Amino acid sequence: MNLENKSACYLFRLLKQGKISAIEILKDCKERFQERDHELNAFVATSWKRAEKKAKKIDEIRKTGEEIPPLSGIPVAIKDNVARLRDSLTCCSNFLADFYPGYSATVVERLERAGAIIIGRTNMDEMAMGSTTETSAFFPTRNPHNLHRVPGGSSGGSAAAVGGGIVPLALGSETGGSIRQPASFCGVYGLRPTYGRISRFGLVAYASSLDQVGPFAADLDDLWLVFCQLAGRDERDPTTVAGKKLQRGGENFNPPSLRVALPREYIEKVEDKEIIKRLEQVCGSLEQAGVKIEEVSLIDPAKALAAYSVIATAEASSNLARFDGIRFGPEPDGVHNWEDFIRKSRTEGFGDEVKNRIALGALLLSSAYREDYYDRALMVREVIREELEDLWQRFDLVLSPATPTTAFELGSGREVSLQKYLSDILAIPGSLAGMPAISLPAGLNEDGLPLGLQVMGPKWSEPLLLDFAEFISQITGFGAEVEFRAEGGSRS
């Protein structure tokens, strides 16, 4: 049986019916990896032996007739900033080149408990700082739609692994755009959950008040399935919340009752005319289906980006203080005191992007600047949050493009370029406010590059975001560019 590009839900069904084995699914996945990853460079490490052991175990359990959990046998990739016991964890930084964590992240435990088979760790911008995956200390990842383009970042490896058809599901992380932007560049779905929905325990911190783990998928049922396994209260992350509904609308989902806001200031930020045209086309189809769409005015996202740059770097300088060369990192030679030791190990261990952010963050938190920058950024964040909370009194969802451009040329990411920082601009307001948002593929442009849209909703509205994304796919025919489909031809 050809298992190429089959959705996780479909593979699970076949497995449950005994039509295929977990070992066969894994073998197929390994073939795709061997065929494609030497070009994409989406993975920094693989764990085929461990994966095989687990697949065998699942096959044994299934044969006994015992119930198997819903991700059984499904190959999944995880971003290299998520801890897994006995796997290396590098955050694609030389600083952590030899680090093996002594525990697994809650998200990894939950994936494994649900039967998922983790096949490897994906490339990322160093310490999740970047938008191209080129600040990785190891190598850049390439976009599956065009090998001369970036996959986006910082979760570029995960987006490319799904977009390139190697795995149906992958985990990424977002501080300000690192799931949605690469999902959009690689033509797949990416979900940033509500802050507090999914545990951050075992995720290496960048900016803790913003960081979230979230999934990539090529199929919305798959995205929902993995999201449900990950969501929920975790004692080890006190910001997680219990008991929020995980229920899709089903028959009660009624598109004509939806009020959708289209923020003018977001659309003005879009440079690529084809993205605007695609948005208009999708809006036209939605209106025809009875959805009410209204243009609104919201705070300029450039202001959100400015506040984000201050808050994220300030928190990063504090979080990354633990990388001192003593507990982790390269041991420098020829040093005579602690200060030298720390300075030298940080100088050797971190790349320029990370150093710049630590330095900037430390400066912004110093007594001379704190009030003018950090405190004011927190105020801007609060105003943005209040504005969005107000908006939910009148609207159910916000629709916009996901990014101002399509994937840019490979090679630009190691320079400090404004375009790189601006590529997250439409994702940032939601991040600051802790609201969930989904990035959804909306076809290709004339050069064959994916175009992406974004839907944001109030806290805990992930079920509605997925219902709406599915509805858009149904009425427009747009979906992930690599089809992980149920059966030949039709998406499901």
| Residue 184 among the catalytic residues | no
Residue 7 or 123 with smaller CB distance to ligand GLN: 123
Give 419's strand partners: none
Distance, first Cα to last Cα, the chain: 19
Q: Judge contact between 23 and 31, C-beta under 8 A.
A: no
Chain-centre distance for alpha carbon 194: 13
Decide if residue 176 touches ligand GLN (CB under 6 A): yes
Least gap, CB of 181 to ligand GLN (angstroms): 7
| Residue 79 among the catalytic residues | yes
Residue 178 or 476 with smaller CB distance to ligand GLN: 178
Identity of the residue numbered 319: N
Decide if residue 424 touches ligand GLN (CB under 6 A): yes
Q: Which two tokens stand for residue 135?
A: 């600040």
Name the segment binding ligand GLN (CB under 6 A); options: 3-11, 110-118, 125-133, 275-283. 125-133
Decide if residue 146 touches ligand GLN (CB under 6 A): no
Residue with tokens 């494994």: 112
Name the segment binding ligand GLN (CB under 6 A); options: 103-111, 173-181, 385-393, 455-463. 173-181
Name the segment binding ligand GLN (CB under 6 A); options: 83-91, 128-136, 221-229, 263-271. 128-136
Give the count of residues interacting with ligand GLN (CB under 6 A): 13
Residue 128 or 402 with smaller CB distance to ligand GLN: 128
Question: Judged by CB under 6 A, which of 21, 136, 154, 240 binds ligand GLN?
Answer: 154
Decide if residue 126 touches ligand GLN (CB under 6 A): no
Decide if residue 156 touches ligand GLN (CB under 6 A): no
Residue 24 or 353 with smaller CB distance to ligand GLN: 353
Name the segment binding ligand GLN (CB under 6 A); options: 46-54, 169-177, 227-235, 281-289. 169-177
Question: Judged by CB under 6 A, which of 93, 131, 406, 461 binds ligand GLN?
Answer: 131
Decide if residue 135 touches ligand GLN (CB under 6 A): no
The crossing angle, in degrees rounded to 10, of helices 352-365 and 301-319 is 100
Which residues inside 282-311 make contact with ligand GLN, applying CB under 6 A? none
Least gap, CB of 419 to ligand GLN (angstroms): 12
Least gap, CB of 178 to ligand GLN (angstroms): 3
Which residues inside 189-218 make contact with ligand GLN, applying CB under 6 A? 206
C-alpha 436/C-alpha 350 separation (Å) is: 31
Decide if residue 132 touches ligand GLN (CB under 6 A): no
| Residue 178 among the catalytic residues | yes
Question: Pick the catalytic residue: 6, 54, 79, 269?
Answer: 79
Least gap, CB of 354 to ligand GLN (angstroms): 10
Decide if residue 377 touches ligand GLN (CB under 6 A): no
Question: Pick the catalytic residue: 104, 131, 136, 154?
Answer: 154
Contact set with ligand GLN (CB under 6 A): 128-131, 154, 174-178, 206, 312, 424
Q: Which residues are catalytic?
A: 79, 154, 178
